Structure 1
Amino acid sequence: MTTATARQWTTWVPLLAVVALVGAWGRELPGFALVIVGLCLIGAVLAAVHHAEVVAHRVGEPFGSLVLAVAVTIIEVGLIVTLMADGGDKASTYARDTVFAAVMITCNGIVGISLLVGALRNRVIVFNAEGSGGALATVCTLATMTLVLPTFTTGHAGKEFTGGQLAFAAIASLALYALFVGVQTVRHRDYFLPVHPDGSECGPDEHAPPPSDRETWWSVGLLLVALVAVVGNAKLVSPAIESGVDAAGLPTAVVGVVIALLVLLPETLAAVRAARRNRFQTSLNLAYGSAIASIGLTIPSIALASVWLPGPLILGEDATHMVLLALTGLVSALTVVPGRATLLQGGVHLALFTAFVFLSFSP
């Protein structure tokens, strides 16, 4: 590692975040200390995703999108578990709210912004309908099975799964995620590679030379450090997040929206950059891959953690969110199936995203 590299913020921010975590752990923090810890948390999230992108650039597409999605999901799971561990009964919906927010942000926010950027640059965007359609079908199946069915099952009062149902949903989610990864990276890898407007496959992305083995392993190490810092600092600031939401008189679901926006913001930037480079398939890989990972990895993790976490685990959505989810699935199918999209599709997805955000703050 060169001296210039050592001075980069992505190198020292994760280390600084760990120092802040060690210094603040187990103490009652005043307001200014919480601000510092919060800034370290945000910096660690950005640094973690940066190092995931370095590793992703080394391994290439579609493996790169997979690395980034898994890194983001690990951060998401860590934030959910830490909030649920300290939140009591009111934290019983944090997992549901965060996962649903992640689906809305990825399928409407990230896809909509990427479509907007790509269409303004190229008028008509071309991508692989085969791979994107399969990914969308996986998202819809996972979301329905884990967020909709609990509302209608009768084995447990309320919007909860029974123990057996939760175990089935967790195993099925993990199996579908593993199947998707196998299809994306091995059996039908060509379905997830970027294409030119004429339908021919794009070559390697030459916007930057791939990192060396030493740089890649350095990023792997810093990625692990950043993930530890994110989970630890999230536990420190979680009481302040909940208190702020309560003081503002906002619904508890806003906490889940905040978590999802926090962990998915860097991935949004990566998807927009890919769309600007005429690699919209990469943007879709990032969006749908993150949604699949968010459900396929978060639900099994939370199901396992629920054994020792206090309070119930409510996964079933209300009628408003189920309508938004159904409309998102329908609109996304109409966007993906033709393999071509314009500015109009981007505007429709962004309208759905803004509706979700507005209704989260004003249900």
Structure 2
Amino acid sequence: MNARATVRTPATRWTVVVPIVAALALVFSWGRELPAFAVAAVALCLAGAVLAAVHHAEVIAHRVGEPFGSLVLAVAVTVIEVALIVTLMVDGGPKTSALARDTVFAAVMITCNGIVGLSLLVGAVRSRVVVFNAEGSGAALATVATLATLSLVLPTFTVGKPGPEFSTAQLTFAAVASLFLYGLFVAVQTVRHRDYFLPLTPEGAFKPEEHHAPLPGRGATALSLAMLLIALVAVVGDAKSVSPTIESGVEAAGMPQAVVGVVIALLVLLPETLAAVRAARRERVQTSLNLALGSAMASIGLTIPAIALASVWLDGPLHLGLGATHMVLLALTVMVGALTVVPGRATLLQGGVHLSIFAAFVFLAISP
């Protein structure tokens, strides 16, 4: 009984209060011009909501086990991110024609290079060589590469419409294919080949589930699920509230507007980043890869169908095709990612390589 009280006590304190406060900050700040002190307050709420989201995601993961735990966080963040993108595109009109492409590509680069590289680096610092399941990680990377190529590369080369756009029939095909591939992967990950996505020991055996604390009950899990959703809504919404300040700073510094999308994507993906790094510190790098690649996959597999459906009501063009520079970075990411996951083992070097690609992406966003 005492152990359970110890587990519940934090959930009755800041991890419940902070998401609610952050959601209230979103309500009072949405659509308003904020003075400097209000921006600072919303930013603090944003940081607290990120930490609370990670806590509740870990409670849920502890209850349902892997790979379901990482899937919950990846899908929850992506669904809210998709809703934000569609809302901004509906409100923004033709000037947001490339918003979906820029956001999805930024998410792919952040997850496949930033989160993967940081997780490998943290894991290798602790254990010198990190071990993960090549079958599961390779399948995830192959799905991400296929989705990215179908949705972000092909529009640059199709001739159905001028510019980097799909025709209506092509966009419908891309949306259906994205949903099919994502649904098929989730079925493989959670049912048919679940063991491909479980953490491994250095000897290649399956790592046992961590049970340092009792499993949370159904009530505690339901509370954490509700608080996770509230925290994620607050993360995305508060990120949007502080975005005018970010835009002003970017404009004052003379940087391209694409930098704003990168900053917002970094803020939105903070919960996954922190959760992945924590898993890597516990020598569960497979969980980190599940989070990173699963988030990239969900970002494409859910965003493109949602945008395809929303395009019925959207005015203006929908630019999905990447430019030459971004296609080179995507190809390099896929090639290096394959060389990383195929051996099923990685060192500091692989982490450093992925982080270098991520740094190149950020640098070229600032200085194209």
TM-score normalised over the length of structure 1: 0.92
- The AA in structure 2 aligned to 1:169 is A
Rounded Cα–Cα distance in structure 2 between residues aligned with 1:306 and 1:208: 47
1:255-270 aligned at under 5 Å gives the runs: 255-270=260-275
Which residue is 1:221 aligned to?
Answer: 226
Q: Name which of structure 1's ranges 177-186 and 89-98 shifts more when overlaid on structure 2.
A: 89-98
Which residue is 1:332 aligned to?
Answer: 337
Over 3 Å counting, the alpha-carbon distance change for 1:312 and 1:35 in structure 2 is farther
Q: C-alpha displacement at 1:18, in angstroms?
A: 2.8
**Residue 181 of structure 2, aligned match among 154, 176, 181:** 176
Cα deviation, 1:35-58, whole Å, max 9, x if unaligned, reads: 433433443344334323321221
Rounded Cα–Cα distance in structure 2 between residues aligned with 1:95 and 1:144: 15
SS in 1 for 2:98: helix
1:78–1:231 contact (8 Å) kept in structure 2:
no
Over 3 Å counting, the alpha-carbon distance change for 1:353 and 1:337 in structure 2 is same
2:243–2:260 contact (8 Å) kept in structure 1:
no
The reply to whether residue 148 of structure 1 matches residue 156 of structure 2 is: no
Rounded Cα–Cα distance in structure 1 between residues aligned with 2:11 and 2:134: 42
- The AA in structure 2 aligned to 1:18 is A
The reply to whether residue 52 of structure 1 matches residue 54 of structure 2 is: no
SS in 1 for 2:255: coil
Rounded Cα–Cα distance in structure 1 between residues aligned with 2:152 and 2:118: 25
Rounded Cα–Cα distance in structure 1 between residues aligned with 2:295 and 2:365: 21
2:118–2:277 contact (8 Å) kept in structure 1:
yes
Q: C-alpha displacement at 1:91, in angstroms?
A: 1.9
Runs of 4+ in structure 1 displaced over 6 angstroms?
A: none
SS in 2 for 1:287: helix
TM-score normalised over the length of structure 2: 0.91
- The AA in structure 2 aligned to 1:345 is Q
**Residue 358 of structure 1, aligned match among 352, 358, 363:** 363
Rounded Cα–Cα distance in structure 1 between residues aligned with 2:293 and 2:228: 22
1:63-78 aligned at under 5 Å gives the runs: 63-78=68-83
- The AA in structure 1 aligned to 2:319 is I
2:77–2:232 contact (8 Å) kept in structure 1:
no
- The AA in structure 2 aligned to 1:357 is V
Cα deviation, 1:129-155, whole Å, max 9, x if unaligned, reads: 111111110010001111101110111
Contiguous gaps of at least 5 residues in structure 2:
none
Cα deviation, 1:65-84, whole Å, max 9, x if unaligned, reads: 10011122123223323433
Rounded Cα–Cα distance in structure 1 between residues aligned with 2:255 and 2:87: 21
1:247-286 aligned at under 5 Å gives the runs: 247-286=252-291
Rounded Cα–Cα distance in structure 2 between residues aligned with 1:341 and 1:26: 46
Rounded Cα–Cα distance in structure 2 between residues aligned with 1:163 and 1:148: 17
The reply to whether residue 320 of structure 1 matches residue 325 of structure 2 is: yes
The reply to whether residue 299 of structure 1 matches residue 290 of structure 2 is: no
Rounded Cα–Cα distance in structure 2 between residues aligned with 1:231 and 1:344: 33
Paired residue total: 363
Contiguous gaps of at least 5 residues in structure 1:
none
Which residue is 1:79 aligned to?
Answer: 84
Rounded Cα–Cα distance in structure 2 between residues aligned with 1:37 and 1:306: 32
Q: Name which of structure 1's ranges 4-13 and 91-100 shifts more when overlaid on structure 2.
A: 4-13
1:45–1:230 contact (8 Å) kept in structure 2:
yes
- The AA in structure 2 aligned to 1:143 is A
1:93–1:253 contact (8 Å) kept in structure 2:
no
Rounded Cα–Cα distance in structure 1 between residues aligned with 2:11 and 2:127: 38
